[in-house]
Amino acid sequence: MEPAPRYDGVSIVLHWATAALVAILWTLGQTIDFFPKGGPRVDARSVHITLGAVLALVLLARMLWRARAGRRLPLANAGWLGVAAKTVHYGLYLLVGATVVLGICNAWQRGDLLFNLYRIPQLVPGDTALRRTLGELHGDLADVVLIVAALHAAAALAHHYLLRDGVLRRMLP
């Protein structure tokens, strides 16, 4: 079997940075309320917001790199498997982007304090229903991102261990 073509180094780094940030952000999002109120919780939420901003930048860099300079590889499979792979790929971009946007809106509506240094101005002061809705949507969409990303990872592992077609190696450093 000839070696499968590989993605370029920048695409690989941006892919794994996205995956790591999604996992860290989801975990932190699930545990923020376990931190004691006051400074520790403010710091945990501040780290979550800051890493969310980093994820937004990484996602933007990833899309720009892919559009302009990133190596494009042919679909690993023809037919419905190829269509499913492409759909999941673009779906993940959309889901992660929407989660980031909802996170930004959530932080604005909450009027969060960042590292006890700066308070984000509130979007609509006093609207607790909007605050609750944005928080729930952000959390629910983050759960969907994690589920779809887990399915994406499971498919990559299935390609590697069951189909033995080299698809996973295309994205490994």
CATH code of residue 83 = 1.20.950
- pTM as predicted: 0.91
* Total domains present in the chain: 1
CB atoms within 10 A of CB 56: 18
Q: Return the pLDDT at 145.
A: 98
Residue 3 lies in a domain: no
Q: Return the pLDDT at 41.
A: 97
- 100-114 per-position pLDDT tens digit: 999 999 999 999 999
Residue 92 lies in a domain: yes
Give the mean pLDDT of 34-59: 97
Q: What phi-psi label fits residue 111: left (phi over 0), alpha (psi between -120 and 50 degrees) or beta?
A: left
User: Quick check: helix, strand or coil at residue 118?
Assistant: strand
Residue 83 lies in a domain: yes
- 69-73, 128-132, 161-165: which range is least confident on average? 69-73
> What is the span of the domain harbouring residue 38?
9-171
Residue 2 lies in a domain: no
Residue 119 lies in a domain: yes
Residue 71 lies in a domain: yes
- 57-86 per-position pLDDT tens digit: 999 999 999 899 877 777 777 788 888 888
Residue 1 lies in a domain: no
Q: Return the pLDDT at 3.
A: 52
- % pLDDT > 90, the chain: 76
Residue 66 lies in a domain: yes
